[in-house]
A and B are shown apart, each in its own frame.
Chain A
Amino acid sequence: MIRDLFKQLMKDKFAKIALILLGIIYFMLLFADFIAPYTKDFSDRSMAYVPPSQIFTIDENGKFSRPYTYNYKRDFDMDELRIVYSLDRSQKHYLKFFAKGEPYKFLGLIPMQRHLVTTDVDGRLFLLGTDINGRDVFSRILFGGRISMTIGFLALFVLFPIGLLYGGIAGYFGGKVDAVMMRFAEAVMSIPSFYLLIILASILPAGMTSIQRFMLIVVILALIGWAGFARVVRGMVLSVKNQEFVQAARSIGASRLRIIVKHILPQTTSFVIVAMTLSVPSYILSESGLSFLGLGIQQPDASWGNMLKEAQEYTNIIYRPWLLTPGFLIFIAVLSFNLIGDAVRDILDPKSKVR
């Protein structure tokens, strides 16, 4: 079934492009250690807010040369009262491919030193400039993407079992159980979700390790979304619970939990797949919004949202536009997920014509 779905997806022009884009993004994130010229925490304090390195392939005599770059040097502009960077043309730094650089663990296991592209020890290769601490934005985008692009999926894997079971039980039992459970779900839905999100994030105790914080944010994101999902599942359960196959299961003495989990919930599979692909983007957006406000992933860890935090200052967005790159990546990722979600819905639910 999954293979069929994939084949049909590749027939849709938009979904195909989106799948390829996401494929490239996830591939780069998986091999981030190797592709990034620097590690996540590398910082050169003398190089704060350096613009992206310029790469030359034609030298000053007009001849082709191996690609090289110049470092930036820092000057203070007395007239405008701000720091300006200019190319330090005294020394060329050639780009080196597959050369040794900062040590890291490949896929978290194998110790390695080789990077896809680096430059010599004195040279600095900042493909997308640096941030306030002189950290390489390009490298941090790769490491931050690992968090931003997985957090949504993890939240979904926490939320869907809860929503399925909750909706399944409420729908199957009906009566008072249903009424109480649904009133509670409605109450959760009556709190504006973003308000609930920031409050839950803000009561997280300080001094957690970054892994703990990451996991708790996953849980919080899941707490926001389960109610709406449970309500739809309940509606679907109500419509199938009196069909013959359920009665058959009941007559052979299957337990109620077994009937719900084994017989009724599988009926909702295609809805679940559609709902999952369509809700990944909203979790990516929630995480980035939360981190943008400083309530999500914290420094020194990177996520696309918290990298955009620096874009809150006017001087940054006007003089240092490279700090905005994570925003475009969020946009591309969310757009791709939306396009795939739409295509999946068209395939699994041909009656709906939302696209």
Chain B
Amino acid sequence: MEILKYILKRILQTIPLLIIVSLISFFIIRLSPVDPLAELRLNPSVSKETLQRETERLGLDKPIIIQYGKWAKSFVKGDLGVTSNGELVSAKLKERIPNTLLLTVIVIFLSWSVGVPLGILAAINWKSPLDRLLTVLTSIGMAIPSFFFAVLLLIFAVKTGWFPVGGLTSSNFLEMSFGEKVFDITRHLVLPVTVLFTLSLAGLQRQMRANLLDVLDSDYVKFARAKGLSEFKVIFKHALRNAINPMITLLGFEFAGLLSGAALTEYVFQYPGLGRLILEAVLKSDINLVMASLMMGAIMLVLGNLIADILLIITDPRIRQKNGGQA
């Protein structure tokens, strides 16, 4: 019950946060000298009525505070306006967000299932050649610019022809059977996942190693060892449980990092995700789309942190105690 109360409190806290985020984004975008409807006006296929409706919806003839109010009201209602091509922004987002989520979830899953064991391995063999090797490798992994790595992988893909070089699906995707579809998407995902996986693996491995080393230094681990427990039990039963908690907090941050890192990777691989959408919107100064995808990015990030916090409450009883009184 206490847990539920705390989770509810934590969820309520995100609301003012999102309001401030929306205020910041709104003012940044409105401060720019760009006419939000310029593209729409130039597009001959957009009717006068649509234009009029947009002007009214955004309240462009009113002061900026009222504009924000209008925008916020329609955002909450789910009306995000139209893009400069006249498409619905919400439809566009619905199409792109799952793709970015698919990419990030796969990357997080893979990098955790490889990075955490490698971090443990390095910490157990502290200062051994294996540990040194892993440190050098992670340094290299952290130093490669994501877009450059992506470009190098593209050369590889073009030269060998093993992987398709862009998008998420082949042109004949709709004619495929279910199995073929899954295989096709997997083939398209290999390269972008490789880039993002390399990026996040390095940081994760280092963090895990540092946490475990810290914990292995503490008194209760020394006590467990002195008690004569096997090294396996000391590490996996006592040390690891405490070393993994900071990693869960990191999960939220990692989600944020991946959203940012994914933008460049998506751009190079022409992957139809949120990052590329916002980039194209920015380049076309498509204000509605920029504003909506910025908010979506922020919401995804806040949700990522929220999930991490909730997981932390479940795994770490100390936090429950601090926040819930008695537990």
Residues of A at under 8 Å CB distance from B?
A: 183-184, 186-196, 198-200, 202-203, 205, 281, 285, 288-289, 292-295, 308, 311-312, 314, 317-318, 324, 327, 330-331, 334-335, 338-339, 342, 352-355
Contact = CB atoms under 8 A, between A and B. Distances in A.
Interface string B126-154: 10000000010001101111111001101
B154 A317 contact: yes
Given A190-B17, A192-B259, A292-B264, A198 B148 contact: no
Contact of A352 (B139, B158, B210, B256): B210
Nearest to B285: A202
Contacts of B302: 190
Contacts of B16: 183
Nearest to B284: A202
Contacts of B283: 202, 294
B147 A317 contact: no
A335 B143 contact: yes
B210 A308 contact: no
24 contacts: A187-B21, A188-B24, A190-B305, A191-B297, A194-B264, A195-B293, A195-B294, A196-B294, A198-B263, A198-B278, A199-B278, A293-B264, A295-B282, A311-B148, A314-B154, A327-B152, A331-B145, A335-B139, A335-B140, A338-B142, A352-B210, A353-B126, A354-B206, A355-B206
The 7 A-B residue pairs with the shortest CB-CB distance in the complex, in nearest-first order: A203-B32, A194-B260, A187-B20, A335-B143, A327-B148, A354-B210, A334-B143
B259 A183 contact: no
Interface in B7-58: 16-18, 20-21, 24-25, 28-29, 31-34
Contacts of A293: 264, 267, 279
B143 to A, nearest CB: 4
Contacts, number: 143
A189 B152 CA distance: 31
Interface residues on B, range: 35 or more
A198 B24 contact: no
A318 B157 CA distance: 11
B167 interface: no
B279 A200 contact: no
B260 A311 contact: no
Interface in B162-208: 165, 206-207
User: Which of A191, A196, A281, A288 is the most central at the interface, judged by chain B CB atoms within 10 Å of its CB?
Assistant: A191
Nearest to B159: A318
Contact of B34 (A194, A203, A352): A203
Contacts of A317: 151, 154-155, 158
Nearest to B299: A190
Nearest to A309: B147
B47 to A, nearest CB: 28
B64 interface: no
Interface of B: 16-18, 20-21, 24-25, 28-29, 31-34, 126, 135, 139-140, 142-148, 151-152, 154-155, 158-159, 165, 206-207, 209-210, 213-214, 256, 259-261, 263-264, 267-268, 275, 278-279, 282-283, 285, 290, 293-294, 297-298, 301-302, 305
Contacts of B297: 191-192, 195
A194 B18 CA distance: 18
Contact of B24 (A187, A203, A334): A187
Contacts of B214: 353
Q: Is the interface of B mostly helix, strand, loop or mixed?
A: helix
Nearest to A191: B298
Contacts of B142: 281, 334, 338
Given A192-B301, A317-B154, A354-B209, A199 B17 contact: no
B132 to A, nearest CB: 10
Contact of A285 (B29, B145, B256, B293): B145
A144 B59 CA distance: 44
Given A199-B278, A327-B148, 6 more contacts: A183-B16, A190-B21, A192-B301, A194-B264, A199-B29, A289-B146
Given A335-B143, A338-B143, A199 B148 contact: no
A188 B283 CA distance: 22
A314 B156 CA distance: 11
Contact of B28 (A184, A200, A318): A200
Contacts of B260: 192-195
Contacts of A308: 147-148, 151
Contact of B158 (A186, A198, A314): A314
A339 B132 CA distance: 13
A195 B259 contact: yes
A353 B213 contact: yes
B135 to A, nearest CB: 6
A352 B214 CA distance: 8
A74 B51 CA distance: 53
A314 B152 CA distance: 10
B294 A199 contact: yes
A194 to B, nearest CB: 3
User: Which of B21, B24, B282 is the most central at the interface, judged by chain A CB atoms within 10 Å of its CB?
Assistant: B282
B151 A331 contact: no
Nearest to A205: B33
A195 B279 CA distance: 8
A141 B126 CA distance: 40
